[in-house]
């Protein structure tokens, strides 16, 4: 196998997608030496040498899911952890084996551990039960008399057999209906910080991402689509492009042009050498001012969707009791570090697709459609994802790669430039918020929030779904029942503003702005009535939301709320998303009129914890991902085009601006399992803006912060 140093441990060598690549790339003799696993459930197989292959339904995009999911299964299996490796898989057969309700493989919405905890534990228990029964049959002993320990079955008389020795026999046994479970109290993997299983591969350059896939005879492609959303290709003048050495072909499609070459660099240069006349279509007039005006008009709309309403209508609030402020956030790109790419190999009876995707089923269906093959003839291979954050939950570039491969009839790898990625994203939608509070006798009695913006679900079929309350509520995530705060009067409203900009699920989705709106505005209210920010929140948390109190108190205690270092100022925010609660205390100083964040202290309650170190890593990364966008990133539009194109004008957080993030976990093992990948992101923007207010008395109501402060727009 390519780039797999023999000096690495066997586990490191095969970690993650290793087995998959072995199966694909190695000659049969070598593959056999690794051992083909005997299947013991839809999720796990064990080879004769004990190698335990766990099939992950989730993609590894940095969140550590291939470690966490494996811990859950290996726990009940009582596996030898050093022999466990994980492969992300997809195929109609795998999907069918997961049950009738399982129609779409998706890694998103921080759902992997919440959704898969129980099925994976059950699969581990079932596999362990079969191994024990295989040993019982071999020894003529009652199964109940046998015990297991880290990949070995023991007989009371001292005999033992490894799982590898028993796997083939076990795979021939029927699965028990209710296999025995281990008591949770004896968990030895779940709840511990076992190191991620991809570390060695990821520090040696051996980890294979989509962009690293190499197929014999593979050509490289680079593509460019109309810079105006929805535009089409008009005329293409390609003589200069074709003259570049290494260029094989220029392929013109309805809405994009691709150049195919022996290597990628000539393909990229040739794309730049194309002279394309675009039919820009209806959206050529789009600009940022127009977007902003449309959002603000949405705030004044007559008939909003009402997602939550309690007490008196805000229309009846006495004017002298009302505080009001308008907020706004821009479009944002996911900008994963690995530019989008996809490798396709079509053969007469099969199609292989290698792509870092969050939606394997969509890839599979698109490949079947593009090639005319049956779904059973399509093989989707998921290498490591160089970041996802929701971007790879779309299929747009995969469809381009498939179209190119169908036309070429040769294996091909499509790789987008960074510019193409930033200008053709599925962005976090821009949103405006109008927040109103009723304050009487020094207390907050009512909260009225209206958000206006586009609805991501309008991009997805069937359109029928769009009318459902669930779909209408999506842009209001974080404002409804999950909100911890209670008031006499509450009204939460959403207004749809239909805009021609592609939008999608971006890490923490609607929570990314609802937390900013509400947690900033509550701080405004606290300042107005002269109450400490934490004290105000303590008073507003509903009794039904008691878990929030513990999280807030832990962050307040560990973050030394009220006792910042000299010259520093604090801000706090509290928000629930994806079933988990996170509070953050930020400490910053102002340097030359701009914020310098020194310290972030986070507390989180995500229910049962599979791997504390992964939880800390995700809250740290989630918070800093949010800080990145809060500080400097925004997308602008001019003449129908995205203005930004690369990291010089779409600035992301760098090391020098990244403070340490202390993460404290509230132990809550009996609560429902919550998500973790997105939970750290929502609270950071309001916590930072609240600290800026504490430092300067200036309230930042539009993101990103740096231009808002510089331009006096706040």
Partner 1 sequence: MKFTVNGKAVEVSATPDTPLLWVLRDHLDLTGTKFGCGLAQCGACTVHLDGRAIRSCVTPVVEVQGRTVRTIEGLAPEQGLHPVQTAWIEAGAPQCGYCQSGQIMSAVALLAAVPDPTDADIDAALSPNLCRCATYPRIRDAVHRAAARMRDAR
Residues that bind partner 1 in the complex, under the rule CB under 8 A: 2-3, 5, 7, 61-64, 195-196, 198-209, 211-212, 214, 220, 245, 263-266, 268, 335-339, 384-389, 415, 417-418, 613, 617, 620-621, 623-625, 627-628, 646-648, 652-656, 658-661
Nearer to partner 1 by Cβ, of 151 and 393: the residue is 393
Q: Tell me how far, at minimum, the Cβ of 656 lies from partner 1, in Å.
A: 4
Q: What ranges make up the beta strands (E) of 388-485?
A: 412-415, 431-440, 443-453
In the complex with partner 1, which residue's Cβ is closer, 308 or 418? 418
Q: How far apart are CA 510 and CA 475, in angstroms?
A: 5
Distance from C-alpha of 569 to C-alpha of 210, rounded to nearest angstrom: 44
Is the Cβ–Cβ distance between 238 and 386 less than 8 Å? Answer: no
What are residue 494's DSSP bridge partners? 305, 451
Minimum CB separation of residue 198 from partner 1 in Å reads 7
Phi/psi of residue 447, each to 5°? -135, 130
Q: How far is the CB of 334 from partner 1 (least distance, A)?
A: 8
Question: How many angstroms separate the CA atoms of 56 and 44, rounded?
Answer: 9
Give the nearest distance from C-beta 269 to partner 1 in angstroms.
8
Cα torsion 299, 629, 107, 479 to 10°: value is -30
Q: State both tokens at 28.
A: 């049969």
Distance CA 705, CA 432 (A): 15
Smallest separation (angstroms) from partner 1 to the CB of 617: 6
H or E element that contains 292: helix 288-299
Q: Which is nearer to partner 1, 408 or 476 (CB)?
A: 408
68, two tokens: 């966490």
Handedness of CA 577, 578, 582, 588 (dihedral sign): negative
In the numeric block, which tokens belong to residue 565? Answer: 């270092």
Min dist. Cβ of residue 219 to partner 1 (A): 11
Q: How far is the CB of 203 from partner 1 (least distance, A)?
A: 4
Interatomic CA distance for residues 321 and 530, integer angstroms: 15
Q: How many helices (H) and strands (E) are present in the chain, helices listed first?
A: 21, 27
CA dist., res. 311 & res. 80, Å (int): 58
- The answer to whether 222 touches 642, Cβ cutoff 8 Å, is no
Task: Identify which of residues 247 and 367 has a Cβ nearer to partner 1 in the complex.
Answer: 247
Closest CA to 427 of 229, 244, 243, 138: 229
Smallest separation (angstroms) from partner 1 to the CB of 268: 8
Nearest distance from residue 653's CB to partner 1, in Å? 6
Q: How far is the CB of 212 from partner 1 (least distance, A)?
A: 4
Q: What is the number of other CB atoms lying within 10 angstroms of the CB of residue 222?
A: 23
Q: In terms of CB distance, is 415 or 432 closer to partner 1?
A: 415
DSSP element (H, E) containing 306: strand 305-310
Cβ 205 to partner 1 shortest distance, Å = 2
Q: Report in angstroms how near the CB of residue 69 gets to partner 1 at its nearest.
A: 16
Nearer to partner 1, 87 or 415 (CB): 415
Task: Identify which of residues 244 and 432 has a Cβ nearer to partner 1 in the complex.
Answer: 244
CB closer to partner 1 out of 337 and 546: 337
Query: If you compute the radius of gyration of the chain from its CA atoms, what whole number of angstroms results?
Result: 27
Q: Which is nearer to partner 1, 447 or 604 (CB)?
A: 604
User: Residues 240, 242, 243, 244: what is their CA dihedral angle, to the nearest 10 degrees?
Assistant: 100
Q: Closer to partner 1 at the Cβ: 232 or 598?
A: 598
**Which value, to the nearest 10 degrees, does the dihedral of the CA atoms of residues 646, 649, 653, 655 take?**
80
Q: Can you read off the two tokens belonging to residue 569? A: 């100022």
Would you say 325 or 652 has its CB closer to partner 1?
652
DSSP 445: E
Measured in degrees and rounded to the nearest 5, phi and psi for residue 691 equal: -70, -35
Token digits for 462?
A: 């069937």
> Which residues have CB under 8 Å from 420's CB, separation 6+?
223, 224, 225, 339, 340
540 or 582, CB closer to partner 1? 582
Q: How far is the CB of 655 from partner 1 (least distance, A)?
A: 5
Q: Report the interhelical angle of 533-540 vs 511-529 (nearest 10°).
A: 110
> Closest CB to partner 1 among 40 and 244?
244
């Amino acid at each position: 196998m390519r780039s797999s140093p023999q000096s690495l441990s066997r586990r490191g060598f095969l970690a993650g997608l290793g087995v998959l690549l072995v199966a694909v790339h190695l000659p049969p003799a070598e593959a056999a030496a690794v051992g083909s696993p005997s299947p013991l459930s839809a999720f796990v197989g064990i080879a004769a040498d004990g190698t335990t292959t766990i099939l992950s339904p989730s993609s590894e995009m940095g969140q550590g899911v291939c470690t966490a999911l494996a811990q859950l299964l290996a726990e009940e299996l009582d596996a030898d952890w050093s022999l466990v490796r994980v492969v992300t898989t997809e195929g109609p057969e795998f999907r069918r084996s997961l049950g009738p309700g399982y129609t779409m493989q998706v890694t998103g919405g921080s759902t992997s551990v919440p959704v898969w905890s129980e099925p994976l534990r059950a699969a581990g228990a079932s596999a362990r039960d079969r191994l024990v029964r295989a040993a019982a049959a071999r020894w003529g002993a009652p199964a109940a008399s046998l015990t297991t320990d880290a990949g070995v079955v023991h007989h009371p008389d001292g005999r033992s057999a490894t799982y590898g020795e028993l796997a083939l026999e076990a795979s021939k046994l029927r699965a028990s209906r209710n296999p025995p479970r281990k008591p949770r109290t004896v968990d030895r993997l779940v709840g511990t910080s076992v190191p991620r299983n991809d570390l060695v591969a990821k520090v040696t350059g051996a980890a294979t991402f989509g962009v690293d896939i190499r197929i014999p005879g593979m050509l490289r492609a680079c593509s460019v689509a109309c810079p105006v959303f929805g535009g089409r290709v008009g005329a293409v003048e390609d003589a200069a492009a074709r003259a570049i050495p290494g260029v094989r072909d220029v392929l013109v499609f309805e809405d994009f042009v691709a150049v195919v070459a022996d290597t990628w660099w000539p393909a990229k240069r040739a794309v730049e050498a194309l002279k394309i006349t675009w039919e820009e279509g209806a959206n050529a007039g789009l600009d940022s001012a127009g977007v902003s005006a449309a959002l603000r008009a949405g705030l004044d709309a007559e008939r909003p969707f009402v997602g939550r309403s309690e007490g008196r209508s805000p229309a009846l609030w006495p004017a002298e009791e009302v505080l009001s402020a308008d907020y706004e956030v821009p479009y944002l790109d996911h900008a994963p570090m690995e530019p989008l790419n996809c490798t396709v190999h079509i053969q007469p009876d099969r199609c292989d697709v290698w792509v870092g995707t969050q939606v394997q089923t969509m890839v599979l269906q698109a490949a079947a459609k593009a090639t005319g093959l049956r779904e059973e003839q399509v093989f989707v291979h998921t290498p490591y994802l160089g970041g996802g954050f929701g971007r790879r939950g779309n299929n747009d570039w995969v469809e381009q790669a498939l179209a190119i491969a169908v036309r070429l009839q040769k294996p091909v790898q499509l790789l987008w430039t960074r510019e193409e990625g930033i200008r053709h994203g599925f962005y976090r939608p821009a949103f405006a918020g109008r927040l109103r509070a009723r304050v009487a006798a020094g207390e907050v009695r009512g909260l009225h929030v209206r958000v206006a913006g586009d609805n991501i679900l309008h991009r997805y079929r069937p359109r029928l779904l769009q009318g459902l309350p669930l779909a209408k509520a999506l842009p209001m995530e974080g404002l409804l029942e999950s909100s911890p705060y209670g008031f006499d009067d509450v009204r939460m409203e959403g207004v749809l503003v239909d805009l021609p900009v592609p939008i999608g699920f971006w890490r923490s989705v609607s929570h990314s702005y609802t937390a900013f709106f509400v947690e900033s505005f509550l701080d405004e209210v606290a300042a107005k009535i002269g109450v400490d920010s934490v004290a105000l929140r303590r008073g507003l948390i509903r009794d039904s939301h008691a878990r929030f109190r513990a999280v807030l108190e832990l962050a307040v205690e560990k973050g030394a709320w009220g006792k910042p270092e000299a010259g520093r100022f604090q801000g706090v925010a509290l928000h629930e998303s994806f079933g988990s609660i996170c509070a953050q205390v930020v400490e910053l100083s102002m340097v030359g009129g701009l914020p310098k964040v020194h310290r972030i202290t986070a507390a989180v309650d995500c229910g049962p914890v599979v791997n504390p170190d992964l939880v800390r890593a995700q809250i740290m990364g989630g918070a800093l991902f949010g800080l990145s966008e809060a500080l400097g990133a925004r997308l602008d539009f001019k003449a129908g085009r995205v203005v930004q194109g690369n990291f010089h004008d779409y600035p992301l957080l760098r090391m020098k601006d990244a403070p340490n993030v202390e993460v404290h976990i509230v132990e809550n093992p009996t609560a429902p399992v919550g998500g973790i990948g997105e939970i750290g992101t929502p609270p950071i923007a309001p916590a930072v803006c609240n600290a800026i207010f504490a430092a300067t008395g200036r309230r930042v109501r539009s993101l990103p912060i740096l231009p808002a402060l510089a331009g006096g727009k706040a």
